[in-house]
Amino acid sequence: MCATCGCNSHDVLIGGKRPVRGIGAISFRKVQTPPDKTKHEHPPADTTTRVIQVERDLLARNDTFAEANRRLLNERGVFALNLVSSPGSGKTTLLVKSIAMLQGKLPLAVIEGDQQTENDAARIRAAGAPAIQINTGRGCHLDAQMTGQAMTQLDLADDSLLLIENVGNLVCPAAFDLGEAHKVVILSVTEGEDKPLKYPDMFRAADLMLLNKCDLLPYLEFDAELAITYAHRINPQLKVMRISAVSGEGMDEWLNWIEAGSRKAIAAK
C-alpha cells in the first residue's frame, strides 16, 4: 500500500467494466510456486548464487505505454491534456464550462479518473461530450496503460481535443506520464497559497497552472501573487492563468490556449 495516501491498485474499472487484461500496475501475475521459506532461512551450503545486473528504470513500463499513446495522439492530430489537482479544486466544473464554450469549435472527448462512481462522466455526458470513466478502485492515479485502453473505447475523432481528468491527488499522478501534450495543474483559491511548496512534484511536472475560483478572492484572505510566486519558485517556466469556471473570468484565455495547442497538434500530424 502507498504509504503516502493509502492507495492500492485493485478493482480497476473502465467504463464500468473490468478490463479483459490486467491494468497497468496490477497486471503482474504472482508466480504459482509457493516459496520455500525453510530454504530461504537456511540455505544449503552448496547453493550457488549469482549476481545479475538489471539496471532497469521502475517507470519504464508506464513510459512505454505513454509513448505509444503519444504516438497515436500525434498521428491523429489529437491535442491531449492531463488535468491534475487536489480533490475539490473545480476540475469537473471547469470541464463542463469548457465543453459548453468549445461547442461547435473543436470536437472533444473526456477521460474521467476517480476511485469510485460514474458521477463525473455522467456530468460530462450531460454537458454534451463523449466521456469514459476509469474507476481506479483503491488506486490513486491513472497510468498510461489504462488511459490507452480508455482512448480505444472512446473512439477519438481526428484533429480533436482529449481532456483527461486525473484522480484528485496532488502527489501520485505527477510521476505517471499518460502520453499527454501537457499536464495542467489546477489550484483553487480556497486552498493554501503554499500548495506549490508542499506538493512540488506536481507543479514541477505541469506546463500550465490554472488558478481557479478567482471570483471568490474578495471574500478570502488568499494571496494570489504569493501563490504564483511559490509556483514559479518550483517551476520558473510554469504558465499561469487566473480563471473562474463559474463567473467565466479568464476562460477565454484558457480556451484560446487550448485552440492554439490544437492547431499546432493538427499542423504537426
Partner 1 sequence: MHEMSLAESVLQIIEESAQAQNFQRVRTVVLEIGRLSSVEPDAMRFCFDSVMRDTLADGAELQIIETPGTGRCLSCGTEVEMLEKYGLCPYCDSPHLQITAGNLMRVKDLVVE
Of 13-21, 68-76, 114-122, 232-240, which segment contacts partner 1 by CB under 8 A? Answer: 232-240
Asked if residue 1 binds partner 1 (CB under 8 A), the reply is: yes
Helix 251-267, helix 91-102: angle, nearest 10? 70
Region binding partner 1 by CB under 8 A among candidate stretches 52-60, 98-106, 122-130, 255-263: 52-60
> What is the residue type of 189?
V
When the beta carbons of 59 and 255 are compared against partner 1, the nearer one is: 59
Please report which helix (H) or strand (E) contains residue 39, including its range. helix 37-41
* Closer residue to partner 1, CB minimum distance, 232 or 263: 232
**Cα dist from 86 to 73, 156, 231, whole Å:** 27, 27, 15
Do the strands 161-165 and 108-114 form a parallel or antiparallel pair, or are they unpaired?
parallel
Q: How far apart are CA 164 and CA 80, in angstroms?
A: 7
Question: Does the footprint of partner 1 cover residue 55 (CB under 8 A)?
Answer: yes
Q: Which stretch binds partner 1 (CB under 8 A): 50-58, 79-87, 97-105, 182-190?
A: 50-58
Q: Given strand 208-212, what is the order of strands in its sheet?
A: 13-14, 131-135, 108-114, 161-165, 79-85, 182-188, 208-212, 239-242
Of 49 and 225, the one with the shorter C-beta distance to partner 1 is 49
Verify binding: residue 38, partner 1, rule CB under 8 A. Answer: no
User: Is residue 3 near partner 1 by the rule CB under 8 A?
Assistant: yes
Residues 6+ apart with CB under 8 A from 51: none
Q: Which of residues 100-139 bind partner 1 (CB under 8 A)?
A: 139
- Chain centroid to CA 172: how far? 9
The site for partner 1 (CB under 8 A) is made up of 1-4, 7-9, 24-26, 28-31, 33-35, 37, 39-41, 43, 47-62, 139-141, 143, 171-172, 174-176, 197, 200-201, 204, 232-236
